[in-house]
Amino acid sequence: MIAKYNYLSTATAALKELYKKYPVLYNTSIVCSFEPKVIYRMRQTDPEVVTALTHRPWSLSQFGAARFSSPWKHLWMTLLDVALDWAHHHVLWKLCGISAFLIEKNFVSPDYALYWAQRGVEVVAWTVNTKVEKDYIQDVLHGNYITDSLVEDCDHSCKPP
């Protein structure tokens, strides 16, 4: 436990120094994490930093398929997934003081975006890579997204060698 606390302290101290050294980061960056403690500590360290919780439903129990072969462990992790999802949507977002909620793209919908908008929190979908996905997030949901692809839908001929 002490090692993890030191890690969080070290990470937040390093981020605070970066923001102090490069004030432009306050308007051009966001600190986001799957780990609520990181966001909570960052907001304690510097409340001016924009923060976001990152979430993917069923992340503890599944990764494409079940993560665990043991039925009991899978059941336990599924129950923890339900509790984590509830906590993200009802407690952690407020406790951590987030500005945005990063959600895996397959779970974004107009109702979901509205849910967060009513709380003053912006939804950011990740990882949105195709033109259709990008257009949907921008034009239908009027939201933002994270991508790891600057190449739009194209065949292999337009990819660099």
Q: What is the pLDDT of residues 31-48, one digit of tens each?
A: 999 989 999 999 999 999
**Domain CATH code at residue 73:** 3.20.20.190
Specify if 127 maps to a domain.
Answer: yes
Report yes or no on 154 lying in a domain: no
For residue 68, being part of any structural domain is answered with yes
The residues facing 55 across adjacent strands are 103
Number of domains in the chain: 1
Q: Is residue 157 included in any domain, yes or no?
A: no
Residue 145 belongs to a domain: yes
For residue range 97-106, list pLDDT tens digits in order.
999 999 999 9
Strands 31-33, 122-126: pairing kind: unpaired
Parent domain of 93: 2-149
> How far is the CA of 68 from the CAs of 35, 61, 72, 81, in angstroms?
21, 7, 9, 14
Residue 160 lies in a domain: no
If you average pLDDT over every residue of the chain, what do you get? 89
